[in-house]
């Protein structure tokens, strides 16, 4: 039963690694891997010397870290609030509503956000107009683009993460709450001294494992929302590699940038699993 999966992994994950040699060559498709001239570490030297490249790396780290932190805090807070609702019909309705965006692709959501955030007739700017606020070009302003990207990503993803924490809450022994009530503990104190400590192992695991995605700022989302006006604050490694490699045809430098991201991501994944095993006794093998 494992054979098809192993073959798939080898063909699409390991064999393509031979193409990493492009990072050390001035690759020309008509010359092939063997005949393209060798340039050594030239692409990597340019990667760390040109300020525009460093800005792309900075953008990636800022966006991904903020997504990681808020993507951990928001689902936990929402799960705690949702857990306080006693009417199951109302609770399930809200849960379904916040979970639905997770199933929509960024192609669809990108079109929706473009219409909603448009400075000319967009729903959000029309609402702000009632308070006398001038239209804001959310997706064309370097000031507003990052917050828009981060908030929209949290809105799309937090419903899925909430389910994980709700499952954890459902597994907490009710007798702990009953004993706390007999001792006169309020709901706030029960949350602080029972709920959060019982959730801490899964919070640690989810947080640590997210470190492996520290340089994945979300290609699908950024690609569908950004434009040349916001390259300064919105361009990330994945979109930069796409433009340089596939659009401009500089395959060597694009591969070097992608390889740098993969190496850093691999290091964080190893560290994350070590920390998960140490602090939460979590391991795959």
| Per-residue pLDDT tens over the stretch 180-210 | 888 888 888 888 888 888 888 888 888 877 7
The pLDDT of residue 284 = 62
Return the percentage of the chain with pLDDT > 70, whole number: 98
| Cβ(169)–Cβ(95) below 8 Å | no
Residue 86: alpha-carbon gap to chain centroid? 32
For tokens 């560290």, name the residue. 271
DSSP string over 140-179: T-TTTHHHHHHHHHHHHHHHHHHHHHHHHHHTS-HHHHHH
Return the percentage of the chain with pLDDT > 90, whole number: 12
pTM over 0.75: yes
Tens-place pLDDT, residues 128-170: 888 888 888 888 888 899 999 999 999 998 888 888 888 888 8
Q: Which residues pair with 25 in a beta bridge?
A: 38
Query: Any idea which of 14-23, 203-212, 220-229, 262-271 has the lowest mean pLDDT?
Result: 203-212
| Cβ(263)–Cβ(174) below 8 Å | no
CA distance 69 to 211: 10
């Amino acid at each position: 039963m494992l054979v098809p999966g192993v073959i798939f992994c080898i063909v699409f994950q390991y064999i393509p690694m031979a193409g990493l040699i492009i990072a050390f060559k001035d690759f020309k498709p008509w010359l092939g891997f063997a005949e393209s001239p060798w340039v050594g570490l030239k692409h990597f030297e340019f990667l760390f010397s040109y300020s525009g490249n460093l800005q792309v790396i900075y953008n990636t780290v800022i966006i991904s870290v903020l997504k990681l932190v808020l993507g951990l805090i928001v689902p936990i807070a929402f799960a705690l609030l949702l857990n306080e609702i006693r009417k199951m019909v109302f609770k399930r309705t809200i849960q379904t509503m916040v979970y639905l965006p997770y199933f929509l692709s960024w192609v669809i959501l990108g079109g929706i956000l473009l219409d909603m955030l448009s400075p000319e007739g967009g729903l959000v700017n029309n609402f702000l107009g009632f308070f006398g606020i001038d239209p804001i070009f959310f997706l064309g302003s370097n000031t507003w683009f990052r917050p828009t990207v981060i908030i929209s990503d949290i809105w799309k993803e937090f419903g899925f993460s909430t389910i994980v924490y709700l499952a954890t809450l459902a597994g907490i022994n009710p007798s702990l709450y009953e004993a706390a009530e007999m001792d006169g503990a309020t709901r706030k104190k029960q949350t602080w001294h029972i709920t959060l400590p019982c959730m801490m192992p899964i919070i640690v695991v989810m947080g640590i494992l997210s470190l492996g995605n520290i340089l994945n700022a979300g290609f699908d989302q950024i690609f569908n929302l950004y434009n040349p006006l916001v390259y300064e604050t919105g361009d990330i490694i994945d979109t930069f590699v796409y433009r340089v490699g596939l659009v401009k045809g500089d395959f060597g430098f694009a591969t070097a940038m992608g390889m740098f991201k993969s190496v850093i991501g691999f290091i964080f994944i190893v560290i994350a699993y070590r920390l998960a095993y140490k602090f939460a006794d979590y391991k795959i093998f």
